[in-house]
């Protein structure tokens, strides 16, 4: 962890050289931290804020606004179901509920820790709705049968 903190500090110092407005460093610092630590904890928020020289609430509010930053940690397979109007009209809520039941998701993560499940805004796949991302891979025209094949393929 200490090595990653030092890497984060070095990364933020470089950002401060590039960007004259300190707030501009928040997003790239959060992305770097998410990749290194897998989670945006209160400790990480504090370290980023201190290094950038801003209030922790500014870092925390940014982290909570964007769905790709997580305070819970990441499962091996991160499933994001699109809930835009197009996907909703074509059954994304049924897809979400089906995945939640099939994978036994509680508090956003499966009991085996393999899968996390969340709703997200538009994935830009309106013509092929409903859609979901799994670890940034897009799956479209979802049916329960197609979802079963995808999940079985992931489990190996």
pLDDT digits (tens, 9 = 90+) for 10-69: 999 999 999 889 899 999 999 999 888 878 889 999 999 999 999 999 999 998 888 778
Q: What is the pLDDT of residue 115?
A: 92
- Helices and strands, number each (H, E), in the chain: 7, 6
Q: What is the pLDDT of residue 74?
A: 67
Inter-helix orientation angle 42-52/26-37, to 10°: 140
Q: Give the C-alpha separation, 60 to 36, whole Å.
A: 17
Q: Report, as an integer, the average pLDDT of 70-90.
A: 87
Is 90 exceeded by the pLDDT of residue 108?
no
Task: Look up residue 37 and give its two tokens.
Answer: 């630590």
Q: What is the pLDDT of residue 89?
A: 96
Which contiguous run of DSSP H or E holds residue 118? strand 115-120
Record the pTM. 0.62
pLDDT digits (tens, 9 = 90+) for 113-151: 899 899 998 999 999 999 999 988 999 999 999 999 999
DSSP 42-103: HHHHHHHHHHHTS-HHHHHHHHHHSTT--SS---SEEEEEE-SHHHHHTTHHHHHHHHHHHT
Q: What is the residue whose two structure tokens read 């504090």?
A: 46
């Amino acid at each position: 962890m200490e090595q990653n903190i030092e890497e984060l500090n070095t990364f933020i110092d470089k950002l401060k050289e590039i960007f004259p407005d300190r707030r501009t460093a928040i997003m790239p610092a959060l992305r770097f931290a998410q990749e290194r630590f897998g989670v945006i904890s209160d400790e990480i928020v504090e370290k980023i804020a201190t290094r950038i020289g801003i209030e922790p609430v500014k870092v925390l509010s940014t982290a909570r606004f964007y769905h790709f930053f997580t305070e819970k940690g990441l499962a091996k397979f991160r499933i994001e179901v699109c809930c835009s109007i197009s996907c909703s009209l074509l059954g994304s809520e049924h897809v979400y509920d089906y995945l939640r039941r099939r994978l036994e998701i509680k508090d956003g993560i499966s009991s085996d820790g393999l899968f996390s499940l969340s709703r997200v805004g538009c994935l830009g796949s309106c013509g092929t709705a409903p859609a979901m991302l799994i670890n940034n891979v897009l799956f479209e025209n979802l049916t329960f049968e197609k979802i079963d094949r995808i999940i079985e393929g992931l489990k190996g």
